[in-house]
Amino acid sequence: MESDSETQSGEDTTPDDWMELADDSPAASPDDSPALSTDATQKPSEKEDFKLSLITWNVDGLDFENLPERSIGLVKYLNLYNPDVVFLQELIDPYAQFLKKRLVSYLMIEGSEEGYFTGMLLKKSRVTLVESEIVPYRTTKMMRNLLVAQVIVDGQKLCLMTSHFESCKANAKERMNQLHVVKWKFKHAPDDVTVVFGGDTNLRDGEVPKVGLPATVCDVWERLGKQEHCRYTWDTTANNNKKASYPVRFRFDRIYLRPAIKSGAPRLAPDHMALVGLEKLDCGRYTSDHWGIYCTFSAE
């Protein structure tokens, strides 16, 4: 999202009927989704291959129009795709509280307690949280930070990271400073840990080479062949939530992967990517002004 409204908090203008409308939506539990099978309860030794599924999505919580309906739309998408891990950006507190209430099969970690912030949802049946931290961006003017979680999935160590980089074209320098922080975390992760970063980076393609990612890190979209149908995650030619008067298309939302590099540790590789949230809701708007990214990984 490229709006100055990102610097605002939604506490005072959140719709009064949020929870009243939200209560009309069913809670998500392990029994609600047909995608959850007995495989989720099997021991690691009984699984044929290691798999991981992830969604990253800027949910545009600072746009209060139809926000309760759009939050219900998000829950329905998460029930449908049933990812192991969810990275969310631009949450506000009522949105986060609603998700905690409705997605009871997930543990939520929040990147802040005020304003707007990032969050992670970790599927309790598969992902064990070891510890989490919030890494500040010292020079941000938009309340941005890096949310990091050390987790274990089927006995494998993962470092999960999400962030919402500084917005707007004029803030390229700060945005690249924030990418440097992520780069440092990639470089200093233990060799036996798989590191996955996903979020709304607001990056322009020309900014990434100026920072440079470690050789061990791949851009998942690029690794999967730069598929055109997954290129643009902020696209005013297809998404009219912002009612933009001009066409703009950017690949703001990105996923980066650094597989474990220690000998004997499973090496994860991306095997599928798709955009989600492409369907209009009954209210006539999309879940967000961003498309979400659904991505799956498997052991090589």
Average pLDDT over residues 261-265: 85
Task: Find the helix packing angle between 67-81 and 93-102, rounded to 10°.
Answer: 40
Residue 209 lies in a domain: yes
Q: What is the mean pLDDT of residues 205-223?
A: 97
pLDDT digits (tens, 9 = 90+) for 26-35: 554 444 433 3
Q: Report the C-alpha gap between 185 and 118 in whole angstroms.
A: 18
Percent of the chain with pLDDT over 90: 79
Q: Which residues pair with 246 in a beta bridge?
A: none
SS3 64: coil
In a domain, 143, yes or no: yes
User: What is the average per-residue pLDDT within 232-257?
Assistant: 95
- Answer with the residue of higher pLDDT: 224 or 266: 224
- Residue 26 falls within a domain, yes or no? no
User: Has residue 124 been placed in a domain?
Assistant: yes
Q: How confident is the model at residue 20 (pLDDT cuts 50, 70, 90)?
A: low
> Could you tell me whether strands 253-258 and 218-219 are parallel, antiparallel, or unpaired per DSSP bridges?
antiparallel
If you ran DSSP here, which 8-state letter would residue 241 be given? Answer: T
Give me the active site residues, please.
Answer: 200
Q: Closest Cα to residue 90, out of 200, 173, 230, 203?
A: 200
Give the domain extent around 269: 49-299
Quickly tell me which residue has 């000998």 as its tokens.
Answer: 263
Mean pLDDT value across residues 114-140: 98
* CB contact at 8 A, 254 and 185: no
Number of folded domains that form the chain: 1
CATH number at residue 230: 3.60.10.10
Instruction: Compute CA distances 211 → 145, 166, 184, 220, 232, whole Å.
Output: 18, 15, 11, 17, 22
pLDDT at 49: 81
In a domain, 29, yes or no: no
Degrees, nearest 5: CA angle 97-39-48? 125
Region 112-139: mean pLDDT is 97
